[in-house]
Chain A
Amino acid sequence: MTAPTTTTAASGPDRPPQPVPEPAGTGAVADSPRRDRLREAFRWGGLRLVALAVLLAAWQAVVSAEVWPRVLVPSPGDVWRQFVLASTVHDGVRGYGGHLLIEHLGVSLGRIGTGSAYAVLAGVPLGLLIGTVRPLAVVLEPAVTFLRTLPPLAYLSLLVIWFGIDEAPKIWLLVIAALPPIAAATAAAVRTVPGQLVEAARALGSGPTALLLSVRLPCALPEILTGVRIAVGVAYTSVVAAETINGVPGIGGMIRDAQRYNQTALVIAGILAIGLSGIVLDALLRLVERIAVPWRGRV
């Protein structure tokens, strides 16, 4: 009730005198772009909502027309019901396979996080080496490219033979999938550090180690973070593959089991859960980038 009142007051008779005490109109200049941006955000957000509604309506229309059997193409309502069932405790059963959907997702996110963290820990130093030591680049760069082009399912079997079916092969798979983009981005970024800045640092007495850690690394940080964002994305797309064997709890394991029992609606609910959490995570990583490297694009 309070919000509308203030709005009316702001647009009411109190409104006109407000700009007067503001000094020299600077407030107006600083204010209007922000309001424009807000209006812009609303407009595009609205467009997105409309598109989503159209999509859902089309989906429902296809299901109602019974073009395909319901078991293959469930309705949005079916998916929602499965989503609710998987997210609650019902008849003494906890979610799906003994875990709530959010727990499946949490376990998968944990694996993605662990895999990506190891990939950063190994990939950044590897990229630094590749970017600065020529002989290493000659040997390691093709290896990284080779790994990068492999589909994770191709090496999953090997990892299972080596590490069994518990956590180890899953984490290894995610590390192998996420490492190449980080190493490649780091190597490329370190190579393209402007020579002018390197000279300035050398003139100030920087040796090779200081150059690497205090100039090349921070200068490369924006691109490294972009590499990390890409790597997390790759880990995301690989986690379902990692969880095809003994993957419960885990969103990939859940989808796999649901597929086995022809629970199409639950498969779709799982896919949506992965996709939506991916969007949120990407937005978070973008935010981290903006805060951590405000100098992006200014080198």
Chain B
Amino acid sequence: MPRTEEPDTRAAVVELAGVSVRYGSAKAPVTALDGVDVRIHAGEFVVLVGPSGCGKTSLLRVVAGFERPATGRARVRGSLPRPGAGAGVVFQQPRLFPWRTVGGNLAFALARLGVPRSDRPGRIAELLERVGLPGMAGRRTWELSGGQQQRVALARALAAEPELLLMDEPFAALDALTRERLQGEVRALAGRLGTTVLFVTHSAEEAVLLGSRVLVMAAGPGRVVAELPVDLARGPGTDVSALRSSPEFARLRGRLAEIMRRGAVPGP
């Protein structure tokens, strides 16, 4: 029975219902998230924006399986979130293994996937090419700049070709040109592989450029206050710099910035 698809009848890849996250002791609890409802469907590119400390990382950590919600329900593909269960994570810091070379860090991910040893060098070269670090496989991680390290971390997360990709401000440390290049890369990749992405950023511009849907969060306690569907052209062919100069992009970015400004004011 072919029917028009409604969002709620589709199986959600990520489902958060009434999720709260608390840190600290019972005496002095910090409520990082309070009653958050989020549903993310397969192939969506959802961007979280909001001021520093509003709980973006906390939300991502719940989905990654590193944080258990104090209340509410968190599900990834119908099961309890568990680290390493198919979600690729790019953390806010590169978190590379210093005892391994750049290539060794990628090999670590490939080994966990069971990629045969002989296939790894080729895959590593290809991944490094993709993040703009060709020929860097033999380098020591600490010889790299912060932005280069973050790109290796991105390559390491991409190595598994995960169906769900969680990214926490991955491009914050990059120069404008490299950032644009990688934004295009991630956008194209997600479109090509149909990857579901949950992406955190501070930048309204980046949110509109990448997202198919933007969730605006506010602090005190952390919650989702607004949602903005983005309908900029998607797909592998779309050029990020062309998108950026389109009037549609400017309009959406303006609207999002407006929403973010209003969201920053606590309460109506």
Contact = CB atoms under 8 A, between A and B. Distances in A.
Nearest to A220: B99
B95 A295 contact: no
B103 to A, nearest CB: 15
A199 B97 CA distance: 11
A218 B84 contact: no
B229 interface: no
Interface stretch (B14-22, B85-93, B200-208, B253-261): B85-93
Contacts of B99: 218-219, 221, 293, 295
Interface stretch (A116-124, A168-176, A203-211): A203-211
Contacts of B156: 204
A196 B142 CA distance: 16
B64 interface: yes
A299 interface: yes
Contacts of A210: 112
Contacts of A215: 97
B108 A214 contact: yes
Contacts of A218: 97, 99-100
A201 B142 contact: no
Contact of A295 (B85, B88, B142): B142
A202 B84 contact: yes
Chain A binding surface, main DSSP class: helix
Contacts of A201: 97, 108
B93 A298 contact: no
B105 to A, nearest CB: 9
Nearest to B87: A203
Interface in A267-295: 293-295
A202 B64 CA distance: 10
A46 B156 CA distance: 51
A180 B239 CA distance: 61
A276 B160 CA distance: 53
Given A210-B112, A295-B142, A203 B88 contact: yes
A298 B95 contact: no
B57 to A, nearest CB: 12
Interface string B16-41: 00000000000000000000000000
Nearest to B110: A204
A202 B98 contact: no
Contacts of A196: 91, 93, 95
A197 interface: yes
A63 to B, nearest CB: 53
Nearest to A214: B108
Given A204-B108, A214-B108, A298-B142, A199 B83 contact: yes
Contacts of B109: 204
Contacts of A202: 66, 83-84
B226 interface: no
A200 B140 contact: no
A132 to B, nearest CB: 18
Interface in A198-243: 199-207, 210, 214-215, 218-219, 221
Contacts of A207: 84
A197 B160 CA distance: 18
Contact of B160 (A200, A205, A294): A205
Contacts of A298: 98, 141-142
Contact of A206 (B91, B100, B112): B112
A299 B96 CA distance: 9
B113 interface: yes
A201 B141 CA distance: 16
A295 B84 contact: no
A203 B89 contact: yes
B91 to A, nearest CB: 7
Interface of B: 64, 66, 83-85, 87-89, 91, 93, 95-100, 108-109, 112-113, 140-142, 156-157, 160
Interface of A: 196-197, 199-207, 210, 214-215, 218-219, 221, 293-295, 298-299
Which 4 A-B pairs give the minimum distances between C-beta atoms? A205-B84, A295-B98, A202-B83, A200-B95
Given A199-B95, A200-B96, A202-B83, 5 more contacts: A196-B93, A199-B83, A200-B95, A205-B112, A298-B142
17 contacts: A196-B93, A196-B95, A197-B97, A199-B66, A199-B83, A203-B64, A203-B87, A203-B88, A204-B108, A204-B109, A205-B84, A205-B85, A210-B112, A218-B100, A293-B99, A295-B99, A298-B98
